[in-house]
Amino acid sequence: MSLTLFLILCLNGLQYGLLLFLIAAGLTLVFGVMGFINLAHGVQYMVGAYLIFAFTGLTGSFALALPLSLLAALAIGLLLEYAVFRHLYARPHLDQVLATFGIIIFLNELAKVLFGPTTLSIETPAFLSGAIQLTEQLRYPVYRLATIGVGLAVAIGLFATISYTRIGMLVRAGSTTPEMVAALGVNVTQLFRVVFGVGAMLAGFAGIIAAPIFAIEPGMGDNILIIAFVVIIIGGVGSIGGAFVAAILVGLIDTLGRSVATDLMSLFFGPSMANQVGPALASMLIYILMAAILVFRPKGLLPAKGVVA
C-alpha cells in the first residue's frame, strides 16, 4: 500500500472516528448523568440527516439549512424527552430499552412514510466542494477536511465545557452522585433536560454533516448506534475522554481494516479464500478489539470514576 493511500485512509478513519465521537458523547453523557439507556439515540442521527435533506430542499442552501436543522433536532430531542423519556428515568433499564425500542420502530417507519424507503443524498455544499492538494500526490476533499475540523472543534468545546464551566461541574457531579447534587439545591430535572438536549443535538449534528458523505436512509441510525455502544464500552461508560480515544481508535481500525484485510489474508490463503475471509474479518475487527479490551480492562480504557451501571 502506498503512503498516499495510507494517509487518505487515516484521514477517512479520523473523520469517521470524529463522527462516532459526536454520537457516543451524547450517549455516554446521558447514560452517565441520568443512568438512562437510550436506544433511540441513533435515531437522532437519522433525524439530523433527514432534516438537513428537507431544509436544503426548502431553502436551497446548506448554510441556511444547517442552523435550522440543528434547532429542529434539538426541538425533536426535547419533545421526546418531555413526552416519553422523563417518565423512564426512575424505571428499570429493561423498561427504558423497551420504550426507546418502540420510539426507534416508530421513527424509522415515519422516515420511510415521509421520505420513501429508498436512499437519498444531498450535494456537498458549494463553498466546501472541491479538493485540496495536501502533498504532491494527495488531493483530499475539502468537505471531509472541514468535517474533521468541525468535529475536533466540537470535541474541544465539549471538553472545555465539562472541565471548566459551572454546568460542566454539575454534569460531572451529577454523574457520580445525583442525589447529592439535588440535595444541594440544583434543579436536577433541568440539568437532565439540558444534557439530554445537547446529546440529541450532537447526534443530530453528526447526521447533518454525514448526510453529504453517506446515504440517507431509514434505519441508518441503528447500525451507528451499535458502533457507538462499542465505542462506549471500549472507552469506559460515562467518560468523555474515553469516548474520544475509543471513537478515533474504532474509526481508524475499521477504515484501515476494511482496505487491508483482504490483502493481508491473501498472504495466508489463496486469493478466492482471501476474498471471502477478508471482508468478513474486516467487519469483525472492532468487535474483536472490544472483546480484547474487555478481557484486559473490563471497565474500558479510560473509565469515568464512580459511575455505577
Partner 1 sequence: MARDRMIGAAIFATLLALPLLLPLVGADYLMGLLIKAMLLAIAAISLDLIIGQGGMVSLGHAAFIGVGAYTAAIALESGIEEILILLALTLAVTALVALITGALALRTSGVYFLMITLAFGQMIYFTFTSLAAYGGDDGLTLWSLATLFGSDVVQNGEGLYFFVLATLLATWAGVHRIGLSRFGRVLRAARDNPQRAEVMGYPITRYRLVAYVIAACIAGVSGLLMMQYAEFVSPAIATWQRSGDLIVAVVLGGLGTRNGALLGAFFIVLMEEILSSLLHEWRLIYGPLLVILVLYAKGGLADLMAPRAKGAG
Give the residues lining the site for partner 1 (CB under 8 A).
Answer: 31, 37, 84, 87-88, 91, 93-95, 97-99, 101-110, 112-113, 222-223, 226, 229-230, 232-233, 237, 276, 279-280, 283-284, 287, 290-291, 294-295, 298, 309
Name which of 165 and 283 has its Cβ closer to partner 1: 283
Angle at 51 between CA 47 and CA 56, to 5 degrees: 155
* Shortest distance (Å) from residue 228 CB to partner 1: 9
CB of 293 to partner 1, least distance (A): 10
**Residue 36 CB, nearest approach to partner 1 (Å):** 10
Q: In whole angstroms, what is the distance from residue 142 CA to residue 124 CA?
A: 10
Q: Per-residue b/e over 268-278, b at no fewer than 16 CB within 10 Å?
A: eeeeeebeebb
Which lies closer to partner 1 via its Cβ, residue 146 or residue 281?
Answer: 281
CB of 100 to partner 1, least distance (A): 9
* Nearby residues of 249 by Cβ (< 8 Å), 6 or more positions away: 17, 234, 289
CB nearer to partner 1: pick between 52 and 237: 237
**Cβ at position 226, least distance to partner 1 in Å:** 5
Handedness of CA 57, 63, 68, 70 (dihedral sign): positive
Q: Which is nearer to partner 1, 122 or 245 (CB)?
A: 245
Q: CA-CA distances (angstroms) from residue 54 to 107, 171, 216, 299? A: 16, 34, 11, 41
Please state the separation of Cα 20 from the chain's center in Å: 3
Indicate the residue among 62 and 244 with the shorter CB distance to partner 1: 244
Tell me how far, at minimum, the Cβ of 292 lies from partner 1, in Å: 9
Q: Which is nearer to partner 1, 125 or 279 (CB)?
A: 279
CB closer to partner 1, 37 vs 65: 37
| Residue 113 Cβ vs partner 1, minimum distance, rounded to whole Å | 5
